[in-house]
Homo-oligomer: A and B are copies of this chain.
Amino acid sequence: MHIHIINPNTTASMTQAIHRAAECQASTGVRITASQPESGPVSIESHFDEVVSAVGVAQEVLKGEREGGIDAYIVACFGDPGLLAARELTRAPVIGIAEAAFHLATLISTRFSIVTTLSRTGIIAEHLLEQYGFRHHCRRIRAAEIPVLDLEHHPDAAFKRIVEECCRARDEDDIGAIVLGCGGMANLTQEISREVGIPVVEGVSAALKLAESLVGLGLYTSKHGDLAYPRPKPFTGQFAALSDLQLPPK
């Protein structure tokens, strides 16, 4: 089984960290690869960053489909950018790390809180919770107020802030579990977990397991209805290459 992780931002070191974290969690016989778009923002902290990164996600899926052999994709940014578009482009399952974390959190607790990076991205999580159906399962969205790349540049300070906020969630929010709201926290999960003492769900590993699950069951992204392959059509300018997607007829 071959699962490919797309880090939607273009920071290669973060891709590598996510790759390593995922490999630690992968089941025997599962090959993990990871990439980031050639073009796009170095981190995703706004709707604008997200919109640009979504194109990169789609392009990485198309690249994967052209090369072949990929059984499932993971979109490793907590806003799940481009998720439904990516699903249109392939029969392989595509899993976002926000949805993955939400799904697993509801299986081990009745209510959870999210601890994310910057408060301005809270609205993105809020919209996802609504779309996925988990509005009432999430008690609160908390921000540690650390920019995404500080997870790399100032890991100790970042770790401290995240743990503090997780502890506050544990003590004040009437919850059973915490969802970490950033792909860049993937490699910190176990340590955070140990400090906080209640289940901490991190999206990359959650998505990995859901991807393994779907592939293992032979389940695939439905091509019946609204996730069918996009109708082929001309694209112009710098996106002209998308005119010829070479996707299966149906």
Contact = CB atoms under 8 A, between A and B. Distances in A.
B42 A236 contact: yes
Given A42-B234, A55-B52, A135-B133, A108 B221 contact: yes
Interface stretch (A63-71, A154-162, A205-213): A205-213
28 contacts: A10-B235, A25-B216, A27-B27, A27-B216, A28-B29, A39-B237, A39-B239, A41-B233, A41-B242, A42-B236, A45-B230, A46-B85, A47-B88, A51-B51, A52-B235, A84-B123, A95-B107, A99-B107, A103-B107, A106-B133, A108-B214, A109-B225, A111-B225, A130-B130, A176-B226, A176-B227, A199-B219, A209-B214
Copies in the complex: 6
What is the interface residue range for chain A against chain B? 35 or more
A117 B243 CA distance: 21
A19 B227 CA distance: 32
A246 interface: no
Given A104-B219, A109-B227, A130-B131, A52 B213 contact: no
Contacts of A110: 84, 123, 225-227
Of A84, A107, A170, chain B has the most CB atoms within 10 Å of the CB of A107
B107 A214 contact: yes
Interface in A111-157: 111, 119-123, 127, 130-137, 147
Contacts of A235: 10, 39-42, 52
A110 B130 CA distance: 14
Nearest to A171: B224
Interface in A142-194: 147, 170, 174-177, 190
Contacts of A133: 106, 132-137
B176 A222 contact: yes
Given A109-B222, A216-B209, A49 B230 contact: yes
